[in-house]
Structure 1
Amino acid sequence: MPATTRTFHDRLQVVLEDHVAEVTLQRADRHNAMDSPMIDALLEAQTWLGEQVGVRAVVLCGDGESFCSGLDVAGIVSSPERVAWLLTSDGTSMNPAQRLALGWRNLSAPVVAALHGHVYGAGLQMALAADIRIIHPDANLALPEIEWGLMADMGITVTSAALRQDVIRDLMLTGRHMSGEEAVILGLASRLDDEPLLAASELAQAIARRSPRAVAAARRLLREAPELSESQRLAREAELQRNLLGGPEQREATRARLEGRPPRF
């Protein structure tokens, strides 16, 4: 697919090339803190990506010294109507603040987050919605909302469901900071890398080379499984596999393996 570049509100750039979308937060002078234009940019980019045909993987990253230092609280709180809008349901089961995180989780393509520098508040909550998180050892993570008399609320009950709840409570109730190295040890991040963006890009490209139907089925299975009984999980697993077996992408994957060439999907 031809390369496409889109900029949203001078706060976010999306480069779509070879089935991989690289989404870069671009407010480096403020460690990519989310002000109103960036919030609008993130929500609009999610919608735009959802409309693009052929996106097979997404890389979520931040320009400059940090991934994202959270909400620009002073700017957001100064506009009471903006706060009310963020916390009001948009006609679905979530409000715009929750969609800032869950919108990435709900994309049809896997999302790989490349984390470095400050990963605070809304930034960390957004990162938790990614399928995979690659993090610099010296990154600094925190959920400091409690210091403002608030709590982390951007869908964190959904994004943290598969994580250790004692670790989430520790972060939410104290606001303490942890390093990227500790985040991997405690299961908040997938793995360490001194160049997380490069590693995330390589991983996304590897995913994009796989059967899109198989990738989608695997994500669907893992997403649905926690809500099912053991027998239902096994039945759903078998159903999804039957839908892949003998299909055009599965046949092409097999041919490519036998012929020693990259598959063409």
Structure 2
Amino acid sequence: MTLNHGRVEVTVEAFHARVTLGVQDGVAEVCLTRPQQHNGLDWSMIEGLLSAQRRLVELTREGGGDIGAVVLSGEGESFCAGLDMKSIMSEPQRMPSLLEADEAGVNPVQRLALGWREAGVPVIAALQGHVYGGGLQIALGADIRVVSPDARLALLEIAWGLVPDMGISVTASHMRDDVLLELAWTGREVGGQEAQTLGLATRLAEDPRATALEMASTMAFRSPKAVAAARELFSRAPTLSRRERLALEARLQRGLIEDLGPL
């Protein structure tokens, strides 16, 4: 489907009647479109998100830099209220497949969060309303999270006798262990302000989607090589010694300067 917004043509693709992917002015937006159920994760939503991820990776790899940033959003009152357990349990024979790892050692539910990182560009999640369980874990797969002050975030898996398992050991590695344990053990809801304090949210905004799109538009027109270098620096630094960190900084900067050519 192609939509016209002024002079800009926006192509929108739909996946399993649950997720849309649109691209405009260098920014891709992936939107969950099951608003009546607060974008709860049923089988079709899971398949739609995985399909949208694959398509997004195709576009970023084949598009020659046409996409510079991605926004994840949810239609309606909530970003995502987590697993729709009634729907998921209606097909119990399919559940083991969710934990079957691929050649990279990642299973489908983990890929729901980790898969956004394969796009190779900044990913910003816009969060409002209910951001529960799997919804929060998907959001943690983004690089940045813009959250409404009145949003409610929680790891609710404990209510089902489960543990958060959508790659959270990777995506929340920046957070304190005691904070994660308290949230995972209690299922306690936190508002936007507390989420920012705890490290679940990057910044607050009354209109998270508008703010996320504005941020993405700015990032989309920055140097792709510099953006990638910053990601490499800050993702690798925690595992390196002081000397190795400084050497990595210098190596990345040297490469960027060489790309600039004669000054």
Please give the TM-score of this superposition, normalised by the length of structure 1.
Answer: 0.91
Q: Give the secondary structure class of the aligned counterpart of 1:147.
A: helix
Q: Of residues 183, 187, 197 in structure 2, which corresponds to 1:171?
A: 183
Q: Of residues 4, 21, 26 in structure 2, which corresponds to 1:14?
A: 21
Unaligned stretches of 5+ residues in structure 2: 1-7
Tell me if 1:181 matches 2:193.
yes
Aligned to 2:10: 3
**Alpha-carbon deviations, 1:193-212, whole Å to 9, x = none?**
10110000000000011111
**Alpha-carbon deviations, 1:26-83, whole Å to 9, x = none?**
0001000011111011011111111112211000000000000001112112322321
Aligned to 1:238: 250
Aligned to 1:121: 133
Contact 2:29–2:70 (Cα < 8 Å) also in 1 = yes
Contact 2:125–2:146 (Cα < 8 Å) also in 1 = yes
What's the C-alpha RMSD, in Å, of the aligned pairs?
1.5
Count of aligned residue pairs for this structure pair: 251
Tell me the distance in 2 between the aligned counterparts of 1:219 and 1:120: 27
| Residue 179 of structure 1, CA deviation | 0.5
| Residue 230 of structure 1, CA deviation | 1.9
Please give the TM-score of this superposition, normalised by the length of structure 2.
Answer: 0.92
Tell me if 1:151 matches 2:163.
yes
Contact 2:57–2:118 (Cα < 8 Å) also in 1 = no
| Residue 114 of structure 1, CA deviation | 0.4
Aligned to 2:34: 27
Greater relative contact order (CA < 8 Å, ≥ 6 in sequence): 2
**Alpha-carbon deviations, 1:113-161, whole Å to 9, x = none?**
1000000000000111111111000000011100101010001000110
Tell me if 1:44 matches 2:44.
no
Tell me the distance in 2 between the aligned counterparts of 1:171 and 1:105: 24
Structure 2 matches for 1:171-250, cutoff 5 A? 171-248=183-260
Aligned to 2:150: 138
Tell me the distance in 2 between the aligned counterparts of 1:131 and 1:116: 17
